Chain A
């Protein structure tokens, strides 16, 4: 019997809810193998999180005290490698998050582990673990395996697996990780700027613009269109990066999740994974895009393959 080792993630005292999704994925994987599921909690006070990850199907929670309050890649790398050395897990899983981007590939390289990132399907077959991830801007999927690898590290896509509501009664153990020389130092967190602007997480109706808007001067007409329909104006990353709209209007992984949104009108947005992370849950997505192959059409309820400016102009006439 081997082990599936899940690395819990937390920040600013809060467990990242994606950890519970990844635990659910690990428990599902366990059901088709002989492996047990262990969740490792790296924290100054692991007790703060140990209870939160004790979900149904988890066999063991291992508390790993570390000297840093927030994520530090050298510390996490040393701790995961030491745990892996002690336990020889078949699979190590963590959420595909910014923290994981910062240390998981280094762990895999140093441990000579199999490694796949942004995985959203996994199963055991006769020859071993098989994982599925996307390629070419989500247009294809790639099925991969890990011949000859005793341990495989997977970073697992978030918002895919449904967390279990049910609590379990795992064994609780402790593990002393070796001290690591931390070569980065956390200074502070910079909270998103409070611009006094609208809070798009509360908006029910949104009109979002993307790269297709072309130039800064074109933004105003979409602001007016949004107002005319009583919609809140949002945007994809390039628009906020260019400073054409405040960062507080950005929808997506590094921006906001529009949790209350009922209707989302996406104009000139191709639909990157990062953007979709913030809006794909919206029940009524309407996409206008010149590119019939744009990913956004795979999650939209209604689509118009066309020029966002032409449609906007006609829409404006409809509103008046």
Chain B
């Protein structure tokens, strides 16, 4: 019994960034890399299922270059015995339709019983990869899951799906399924020092596109869009209140008083 958990290394831009020479992305020198917040929740959901039943394996997988191994180690420090990283230079700038194909290749190899992904990533916010992966596998899928009841082996899982405005839908889904997990479904654990130490010893399998029977050229044809350029948008800017905290607060109190008086 196996749960596959795709995780992503996301990028955060520095304050004063510059674009790459081709203008299609930020110069990597101005990017800091982190684990995607949503993946903490999907991984925790998988560990929770693992700990409630015997014989469940949780496998984190990422599509990313060498340093993306960090996000796998971070997962393995919390639980799980091995991770998988897929990379090929052809995957640089890959869009979610392509990443979904690669993950489908990993799923074909691993034959998991459930796949839990994040609802979206905080750098690109596509909210596409998980559901596109389900389509590639032909699996049932549900997005934006904030409640999950499933015992490995059950033919169905009972879910909560978070809708707009505080409304929640309770539904069931046939398994195996791909679920995209939303923030708040659980309280993700922190890795212990011992866990972090152990994670360094755990195996991370490195796969190429070849290993998955895929080629960069055919994947490029699967791209669902092409980036023409990136640019810094014109945005509004607040009138900044300067001074010491006391001066700032005094001005703020004044503004609040004016606004309340005028209303």
Contacts and interface: CB of A to CB of B under 8 A. Distances in A.
A137 B10 CA distance: 11
Contacts of B163: 11, 98-99, 254
Interface in B187-209: 187
Given A314-B250, A318-B253, A302 B239 contact: yes
Interface SS of chain A: helix, strand, loop or mixed?
Answer: mixed
Interface SS of chain B: helix, strand, loop or mixed?
Answer: mixed
A134 B97 contact: no
Interface stretch (A40-48, A57-65, A139-147): A139-147
A1 interface: no
B140 A184 contact: yes
Nearest to B165: A256
Interface stretch (B50-58, B63-71, B128-136): B128-136
A185 B248 CA distance: 54
Given A115-B97, A190-B160, A265-B256, A184 B245 contact: no
A73 B141 contact: yes
Interface residues on B, range: 35 or more
Contacts of A205: 260
A110 B170 CA distance: 26
B26 interface: yes
A297 B237 contact: yes
Contacts of A101: 119-120, 127, 131, 143-144, 180
Contacts of B228: 130, 143-145
B235 interface: yes
Contacts of B240: 302-305
A263 B166 contact: no
Given A106-B134, A302-B252, A137 B241 contact: no
B226 A146 contact: yes
A130 B253 CA distance: 46
Nearest to A293: B15
B250 A105 contact: no
A118 B125 contact: yes
Contacts of B168: 189-190, 192
B171 A262 contact: no
Contact of A109 (B123, B135, B160): B135
A303 B255 CA distance: 11
A59 B109 CA distance: 48
Nearest to B186: A241
A255 interface: yes
Interface in A265-315: 265, 273, 284-288, 292-293, 297-307, 310-311, 313-315
Contact of A144 (B123, B226, B246, B263): B226
Nearest to B238: A303
Contacts of A103: 131
Nearest to A116: B225
Contacts of A305: 240
Contact of A146 (B17, B122, B161, B225): B225
B235 A204 contact: no
A97 interface: yes
B226 A298 contact: no
A135 B123 contact: yes
Contacts of B143: 73, 98, 101-102
B131 to A, nearest CB: 4
Contacts of A240: 184
Contacts of B125: 117-118, 134-135, 273
A202 to B, nearest CB: 14
- 5 nearest interchain CB pairs? A303-B238, A314-B249, A192-B166, A241-B184, A183-B140
Given A118-B126, A302-B240, A315-B252, 6 more contacts: A73-B141, A134-B233, A137-B12, A188-B169, A230-B260, A297-B238
